[in-house]
Amino acid sequence: MPISASQWIAQHGGHLRSISARKLRQACQRADGECTWCGGKLTGRQSAWCGRLCVDAFLQLQPRNMRDVVHARDHGRCRQCKRDCDRMFYLAQRLLCLAAKNVSWAATVTALRAHWASVGFHISRDFSNEHYWEANHIVPVCQGGGLRGPDNYETLCVPCHAAATRQLHRELRAQRAARGKQQNMKGKSRYVKRRGK
């Protein structure tokens, strides 16, 4: 009985941000004629997937799709500060529409950028709603939270996400430092033992 991709992901996927179909086939040791996801036999002109359900199961895991799922659930509301990022996006669009009709477009864009920057949003390229919020991993990928489905994601506005990321990096640095110290101690005790002989 071949291992199903969901089993493999449950066991090994926690440290991956995403996985390609090709890698997944390799990981699950699929032979020619086996479905990438379930390992079932392919028929007719099928070359990698036995059906829609297996393709969808794979596509659902992709970060791009996860953003859509998280957005449909949270509607762009930041879980930390409760800021409504969809509304910010909507207001920005409204302002830009007005600007296009009446005042100078460039002046409005500059004013909007300055305003968003003052509340911690550094929106550089355009005003798409992608730039107002991030789908944050609740359990970070480096701690096994990768490929875990929508339950492991929360909506964070850009400033809250930046703060959460800084905090995570501080914790990781502290952990590394603690490990380094432990290793130093081990090294020293060996050294002392040898010297004591």
* Residues in touch with Zn ion (CB under 5 A): 35, 37-38, 40, 50, 54, 78, 80-81, 83, 157, 160
Distance CA 21, CA 36 (A): 7
Closer to Zn ion by CB, 99 or 162: give it: 162
Q: Least Å distance between CB 65 and Zn ion?
A: 18
Tell me the angle at which helices 52-59 and 5-12 cross, rounded to the nearest 10 degrees.
20
Q: Check: CB of residue 120 under 8 Å from CB of residue 162.
A: yes
Q: Least Å distance between CB 145 and Zn ion?
A: 20
Q: Could you please report the per-residue DSSP string of 51-104?
A: SHHHHHHHHTTSHHHHHHHHHHHHTTB-TTT--BHHHHHHHHHHHHHHHHHSS-
Q: Least Å distance between CB 81 and Zn ion?
A: 3
Closer to Zn ion by CB, 54 or 66: give it: 54
Q: Give the helix/strand (H/E) hosting 26.
A: helix 21-27
Chain CA centroid to CA 8, Å: 19
Closer to Zn ion by CB, 147 or 157: give it: 157
Joined together, the tokens standing for residue 135 give 């789908």
Q: Least Å distance between CB 14 and Zn ion?
A: 23
Q: Check: CB of residue 158 under 8 Å from CB of residue 133.
A: yes
Closer to Zn ion by CB, 58 or 127: give it: 58
Q: Least Å distance between CB 69 and Zn ion?
A: 20
Closer to Zn ion by CB, 107 or 117: give it: 117
